[in-house]
A = this chain, B = another copy of it.
């Protein structure tokens, strides 16, 4: 069992407390990193907002970079979990339902989504891998539905482009005034781009 070394009373703490404290710190990080640059977010501000000592924060996350990575990992995992779709549905319905779930995540969890997408500290490979894994997950999900392809590596390049299309329209949608474009139109357009890409590649 993990135990905090400083800053909290040692009596009566359970694993549950440790987990929920960690969750609280991550939630705080999602709000902070979604709206501020990495290097202007200070560990002091986070500790103060959480009402704990800086030492205790460092107990959970040894460095600021570790904390940042944990926050982005959580956003990535939340996004992945929210877009799990019943595999017994037809592929058309799964695509539409998956895109709807994705956009619902974007709307409901704006700062977390922005933190994940704009994450990274320059060309930081450690952080970049978190986002690359989510992208890879979506690409694999699409590929699983397709017949084996003679040039799968070329197809992956184009599918990564499609994921980029979805990400950038999502960010633009989040920033745009209400009424600019509907969720339904975004879903329809992203679906039709994917279908036309696959059509080009598979013929």
Chain A count of residues within 8 A CB distance of the other chain: 56
- Whether A154 sits at the interface, judged by CB under 8 Å, is yes
- The answer to whether B123 and A118 touch across the interface, beta carbons within 8 angstroms, is yes
A120 CB contacts on chain B under 8 angstroms: 37, 118, 120, 122
- The answer to whether A122 and B36 touch across the interface, beta carbons within 8 angstroms, is yes
Binds B, one of A43-51, A141-149, A168-176: A168-176
Q: Which residue in chain B gives the minimum CB-CB distance to A201?
A: B189
Assembly of this chain: how many copies? 2
Distance to closest chain B CB from A169 (angstroms)? 4
- The answer to whether B157 and A123 touch across the interface, beta carbons within 8 angstroms, is no
- With A36-B122, A124-B37 already in contact, the answer to whether A172 and B197 are too (CB < 8 A) is no
- The answer to whether A121 and B161 touch across the interface, beta carbons within 8 angstroms, is no
- Whether A200 sits at the interface, judged by CB under 8 Å, is yes
- Whether A68 sits at the interface, judged by CB under 8 Å, is yes
Which residues between 150 and 190 of chain A lie within 8 Å of chain B, taking CB atoms? 151, 153-154, 156-158, 160-169, 171-173, 176-177, 180-181, 185-186, 189-190
**A contacts, CB < 8 Å to B:** 33-41, 65, 68, 114-115, 118-128, 151, 153-154, 156-158, 160-169, 171-173, 176-177, 180-181, 185-186, 189-190, 192-193, 196-197, 200
Task: Beyond the given A114-B123, A119-B122, A121-B121, please list 16 additional residue pairs across the A-B interface where CB-CB is below 8 A.
Answer: A37-B127, A38-B122, A115-B123, A153-B177, A153-B180, A154-B185, A157-B173, A157-B181, A160-B168, A161-B169, A162-B165, A164-B167, A165-B193, A192-B196, A192-B200, A193-B193
